[in-house]
């Protein structure tokens, strides 16, 4: 595991310390969890905005397609694919 140094505000350090005490975990573990959750949130926002595909999310999050679909459902994010697009996909699949 690599080491990274960064500057945090007093408030950010206090939040990390407070969460560390609540969870009874080391601050470094708390920060790693927050970074991972932030990465998930960032990708969810990009997906909702139509800037990344569900396939890209599976790769970037190292999750299966089902896990990403469950994650989208958990956060109430609907697919940007319209029903017409869905039917067109089936028509194209029949041609193969």
Please give the chain's pLDDT, 96 residues, in tens: 899 899 999 999 999 999 999 999 999 999 999 999 999 999 999 999 989 998 999 999 999 988 998 999 999 988 766 667 667 776 777 777
Range of the domain at 35: 10-95
Residue 75 lies inside a defined structural domain of this protein: yes
Residue 78 lies inside a defined structural domain of this protein: yes
Nearest to 57 by CA among 35, 41, 81, 78: 41
Residue 51 lies inside a defined structural domain of this protein: yes
Residue 16 lies inside a defined structural domain of this protein: yes
Residue 4 lies inside a defined structural domain of this protein: no
Residue 35 lies inside a defined structural domain of this protein: yes
Residue 52 lies inside a defined structural domain of this protein: yes
Q: Give me the number of domains the chain comprises.
A: 1
pTM: 0.75
Q: For 78, what's the count of Cα atoms within 13 Å in the CB-facing half-sphere?
A: 4
- Residue 85's pLDDT is what? 65
Residue 59 lies inside a defined structural domain of this protein: yes
Q: Please name the residues in contact with 63: beta carbons below 8 A apart, sequence gap of 6 or more.
A: 57, 71
């Amino acid at each position: 595991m690599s080491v990274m140094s960064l500057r945090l505000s007093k408030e950010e350090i206090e939040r990390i310390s407070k969460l560390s005490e609540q969870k009874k975990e080391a601050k470094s573990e708390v920060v790693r969890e927050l970074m991972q959750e932030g990465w998930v949130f960032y990708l969810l926002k990009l997906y909702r905005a139509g800037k990344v595909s569900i396939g890209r999310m599976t790769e970037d999050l190292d999750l299966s397609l089902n896990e990403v679909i469950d994650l989208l459902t958990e956060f109430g994010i609907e697919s940007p694919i319209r029903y017409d697009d869905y039917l067109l996909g089936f028509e194209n699949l029949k041609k193969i």
